[in-house]
């Protein structure tokens, strides 16, 4: 068991036996740009608000541009995005971040992109590349394991 005093913002609880929560190396998300004043290029690193975490993530590569309503592919590997565009983007977090696909765990699978204190985009996670190993970077998860009696 974990005491209430050990739980902090950003911690993620999960089933240790079946599907252990782990940080991710990168993830692919369908992102809809709503309110960005200029153009977005690969390398852009805004803050993502996902569950209770606020972590900078780099837009590493634009996989494909899609129609925001039908989901039909419009362009493969676009060079830039602007307001109103939707695309599948590979994102790389700057710090440990635990996310899941929207299909598996909806609350951990959606996020808002914030820049200049404004919500500039929203997204849904489609695919996650998880880090192998222990739950590093999660103090609550690390402390919970040894307390079995």
Structure tokens, 58: 């780099």
The pLDDT averaged over each successive group of 10 residues in the chain (149 residues) is 79 78 89 90 91 89 90 88 92 89 88 90 92 55 42
What's CA 145's distance to the chain center, in Å? 25
The answer to whether 60 touches 29, Cβ cutoff 8 Å, is no
pLDDT of residue 142: 42
Report the 10 Å Cβ neighbour count for 109: 21
Q: Output the pTM of the full model.
A: 0.76
pLDDT of residue 90: 94
């Amino acid at each position: 068991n974990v005491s209430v005093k050990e739980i902090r913002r950003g911690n993620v609880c999960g089933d240790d036996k079946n599907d252990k929560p782990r940080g991710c190396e990168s993830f692919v998300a369908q992102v809809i740009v709503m309110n960005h004043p200029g153009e977005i290029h690969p390398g852009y690193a805004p803050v993502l608000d996902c569950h209770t975490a606020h972590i900078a993530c780099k837009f590493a590569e634009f996989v494909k541009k899609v129609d925001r309503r039908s989901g039909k592919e419009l362009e493969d590997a676009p060079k830039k995005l602007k307001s109103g565009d939707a695309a599948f983007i590979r994102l790389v977090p700057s710090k440990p971040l635990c996310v899941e696909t929207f299909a598996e765990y909806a609350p951990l699978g959606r996020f808002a992109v914030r820049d200049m204190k404004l919500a500039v985009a929203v997204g849904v996670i489609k695919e996650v590349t998880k880090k192998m190993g222990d739950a590093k970077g999660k103090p609550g998860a690390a402390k919970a394991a040894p307390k079995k009696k």
